[in-house]
Structure 1
Amino acid sequence: MTDTHRLARRRELGGFLRAHRERLGPGELGLPVTGRRRTPGLRREEVAALSGVGLAWYTWLEQGRVETSREVLEAVGRTLRLDADARAHVLRLAGYAAPEPEPGPVGADLTGLLASWPDSPAVLLDGALAITAWNDAYSSLLPDPGRLPAPRRNLLLQLVADPAHQRILPAWRPLAIDLYRHVRTLADARPDDPHLRTLTTLLAAERPDLEDWWACRSVGVFTSRTVEAHGPGGGVRTYRVTMLHTPDVPGAAILLWV
């Protein structure tokens, strides 16, 4: 890892910790709430004291100026009430866990797999949620990705910015939030990835009203969820949406609708 990449990861780690500190109120940790606070959430000195580290060291950690031990990160994670996904993300950014694999090319075997599900919509996504392949059932349920220009062929972008997708999936927000948390997990681990940078720029430009989403540092592995889709004939179908990871093509995943 180059010094530039290491510095970028330290800054991502610091920003991630700061965002979670600002989301956590003192009362949630049993601390007295006295007076008016100039900043949201916990103070740095409160996190430092509860984690057993010095204030200066914790400040430098949030500023991305220092490397630190796994034990310190785990202590800070407990103080900030990080869930399992967030703790794993912190360790990965600090270099204490295996990094996310780099995206690889999509092979014909995966596109053939999609075609083997004639009744279940399925779409192949890369690490930035760009749509790289889909089956006929998918383009029968949702707008055909083949009709979109390549830069807009992104599932998350379509969910948040395309009215046609939102008419078919009226409750699109929970699905989009889960997908964004998933992509943020990859984005922090690969701060120099041009595809992820392009996606975050497009999202901020097309939906500035969702700035609270784009500024959120929440991460998480996508888990199966139930969605309702409105068909062209006016009927409603219920689908279980599951993400299938593909170890043979690092960074790719299949989103399957059953």
Structure 2
Amino acid sequence: METTALRHELGGFLRAHRELLSPADVGLPSTARRRTKGLRREEVAALSGVSVAWYTWLEQGRVDTSRQVLDAVARALRLDADAHRHALALAGFAPAADEPSAPYDPNLRAMLDSWPDSPALLLGPALDILAWNRAYAAVWPDPADIPADRRNLLLLLVGDARHQRVLPDWEPVAMDLHRHFRTRADRRPGAEDLRRLTGRLDSARPDLTAWWACRSVGDFAPRTVGIAPGGDGTPRAYGMTLLLTPQPQDTAVLVLTPARH
């Protein structure tokens, strides 16, 4: 009964979106007289590469569908990311684990730039460095000087001597970041970015295999760390915090706040 109800919900959802579109929205010529509100079923069927009868049955809740066909229907109906995910859920499909992450909210970048004295990074789910502020580049090696495919905080902490000089006690931070990463990786087991990082960590530091094989998980805990700006001089105390941002972006902001004396 539940499956039948979901089929009907999916059919009604697709029909409502079909009725919102005009031929011009999908590159079709408009005709003077149209009895049907929005697109016709045969037009959606043609755009999706399915038969008119099958698409009609889909809207009527009479057939199941494959994910590939539903993706094609979603494209034909110009569904945005939220509507596409909802259609997949109604059809019983989980969101794609390896689908590209949504672009990060530009307000997050503005927030980083508003902290002139607090080095900060915007990190993706696999701890890739997405953005940074001037204060960060003044203390750490500037990410702009690092090839884009190497801009990963965990990889840099475990494999780059310059980063280790800035953060002499880097190991506990790296271990906690890896636990944070594992938490996200377990939730998205098929995600390509997360799988790729696991392989790169093992290649970069095979001597730390015990770390990479560890199944310990947990969110990154705030702490006080010693930072040597530029990798020189006596380390100064900074508070280090990882701020989690809302889904679906699943990004995080790592911020270092100079400790008050």
What TM-score does the superposition give when structure 1 sets the normalisation length? Answer: 0.59
Q: Which residue of 2 aligns with 1:105?
A: 103
Alpha-carbon distance in structure 2 between the residues aligned to 1:129 and 1:245: 12
- Confirm or deny that 1:189 pairs with 2:187: yes
- Confirm or deny that 1:223 pairs with 2:221: yes
1:72-87 equivalences under 5 Å are none
Q: CA shift at 1:249, angstroms?
A: 5.5
3-state SS in 2 of match to 1:146: helix
Q: Which residue of 1 aligns with 2:164?
A: 166
Alpha-carbon distance in structure 1 between the residues aligned to 2:105 and 2:148: 19
Task: Point out where structure 2 has 5 or more consecutive residues left out of the alignment.
Answer: 1-96
Q: Which residue of 1 aligns with 2:202?
A: 204
Q: Which residue of 2 aligns with 1:115?
A: 113
3-state SS in 2 of match to 1:250: coil
How many residues of Structure 1 are paired with residues of Structure 2 in the alignment?
159
Q: Per chain length, whose mean CA-contact separation is higher, i.e. which structure has more relative contact order (CA < 8 Å, sep 6+)?
A: 1
Alpha-carbon distance in structure 1 between the residues aligned to 2:160 and 2:103: 27
CA contact (8 A) 1:106 1:249 kept: no
Alpha-carbon distance in structure 1 between the residues aligned to 2:164 and 2:156: 9
Q: Which residue of 2 aligns with 1:143?
A: 141
Task: Point out where structure 1 has 5 or more consecutive residues left out of the alignment.
Answer: 1-98
Q: CA shift at 1:231, angstroms?
A: 2.3
Q: Which residue of 2 aligns with 1:256?
A: 255
Deviations 1:57-115 (A, max 9, x none): xxxxxxxxxxxxxxxxxxxxxxxxxxxxxxxxxxxxxxxxxx9xx84311221111100
Deviations 1:133-192 (A, max 9, x none): 000010111111111111110000000000000111110000000000000001111111
Alpha-carbon distance in structure 1 between the residues aligned to 2:139 and 2:200: 25
Q: Which residue of 2 aligns with 1:127?
A: 125
CA contact (8 A) 1:104 1:252 kept: no
Alpha-carbon distance in structure 2 between the residues aligned to 1:190 and 1:108: 24
What TM-score does the superposition give when structure 2 sets the normalisation length? Answer: 0.58
Q: CA shift at 1:235, angstroms?
A: 3.3
Deviations 1:178-230 (A, max 9, x none): 00000000111111100011111110001000000001000001110111011
In structure 2, relative to structure 1, the CA distance for the partners of 1:106 and 1:225 (3 Å cut) is same
In structure 2, relative to structure 1, the CA distance for the partners of 1:204 and 1:248 (3 Å cut) is closer
Q: Which residue of 2 aligns with 1:237?
A: 236
3-state SS in 1 of match to 2:226: strand
CA contact (8 A) 1:245 1:253 kept: yes
CA contact (8 A) 2:104 2:249 kept: no
CA contact (8 A) 1:104 1:251 kept: no
In structure 2, relative to structure 1, the CA distance for the partners of 1:249 and 1:124 (3 Å cut) is farther
Q: Which moved more, 1:235-244 or 1:157-166?
A: 235-244
In structure 2, relative to structure 1, the CA distance for the partners of 1:251 and 1:105 (3 Å cut) is same
3-state SS in 2 of match to 1:197: helix
Q: Which residue of 2 aligns with 1:154?
A: 152
Letter in 1 for 2:138: S
Letter in 2 for 1:130: D
RMSD: 1.8
Letter in 2 for 1:180: H
Alpha-carbon distance in structure 1 between the residues aligned to 2:138 and 2:234: 14
- Which structure 1 residue ranges, 4+ long, deviate > 3 Å from structure 2? none
Q: Which has the larger Rg?
A: 2
Q: CA shift at 1:248, angstroms?
A: 6.1
